[in-house]
Amino acid sequence: MTANTIIEDARVARVRELKTALAEAKERLVRVEEERAALLAHFDLALAALHDFEQLGEGAQLRIIDGWNAILRHRNVSKLTSEEISRLKADYLAGLGIIPPNSQPAGTTGVSPVADSGDSGRDACCSHVCNPQPSTLNSQPPTRIWIVFDGADENSYQSGVYRVTYTGGTGPHRADRLILDYVHAVRLLGLDTARITVDTADKALAKKLTALGARITAPEETGQA
């Protein structure tokens, strides 16, 4: 082996190292861009939900449902088409009496979209459902329910005691990130996170939420809330 061969081999090895480092840097950049997009998309959504929480009456509870986890956790997602998944979600929401804004018959006013409104729109939706009154036949405190889905387009709307939110952004675990950041923000504001119950079967998410003081319950059977 000559000196030139040794030098050439070292150069080849160095080029390989640089290519590997470049590939790793590109992967990190993609992850950071996905996280940034998710944070930008769900910031306003979290603010609206925080406003709702602050307006809850004494003793009222907030229940957060990890939407896709609740709908798909008992199903083999790899065998489902996107159309079938969309239908399962539509059936799930319909079973709760929730009508998305784009599905409302003309002239109905049961749902108040808030994603494209300013503070006045948020105030209107909150005055509509932030303080649901308990039934005279039910001594339990009123509960506000927030269903969170991953979704390409940021959106949030009200239907009765329900808020349905799509995170916007790209990448995995967007709903988990929104829920976790939301509960963290509630704690930072000095509000009582023990009034928040999160329905999720995701053990990693549940562990982090428990550390922040939220309660965890496993989602009920698919199609139920």
Q: Is the pLDDT of residue 92 over 80?
A: yes
- Is pTM beyond 0.85 here? no
Secondary structure element (H or E) that encloses residue 48, with its range:
helix 3-55
**pLDDT tens, 191-221?**
899 999 999 888 999 999 999 999 998 765 4
Least confident stretch, 11-15, 32-36, 165-169: 32-36
- In which region does residue 104 sit, left (phi positive, over 0), alpha (psi from -120 to 50) or beta (all else)? beta
**pLDDT tens track for 97-152:** 998 887 654 443 333 333 333 333 333 333 333 333 333 334 455 688 999 998 87
Q: What's the pLDDT tens digit per position in 150-165?
A: 887 888 888 888 999 9
Residue 143 phi, psi (nearest 5): -125, 130
Q: Which band of pLDDT confidence, cut at 50, 70 and 90, is reported for residue 41? A: low
Distance (Å, whole) CA 179 – CA 138: 28
Q: Tell me what pLDDT residue 141 has.
A: 57
Average pLDDT over residues 1-7: 80
Smallest CA-to-CA distance from 178 within 76, 83, 37, 75 is with: 37
Residue type at 155?
Answer: N
Q: What is the structure's pLDDT at 112?
A: 37
Residue partners of 119: CB distance under 8 A and separation at least 6:
none
Handedness of CA 16, 22, 24, 26 (dihedral sign): negative
Distance separating alpha carbons of residues 167 and 193, to the nearest angstrom: 21
Domains in the chain: boundaries: 36-217
Q: What is the pLDDT of residues 42-87, one digit of tens each?
A: 677 777 777 777 777 777 899 999 999 889 888 888 899 999 999 9
Other beta carbons within 10 Å of 25: 10
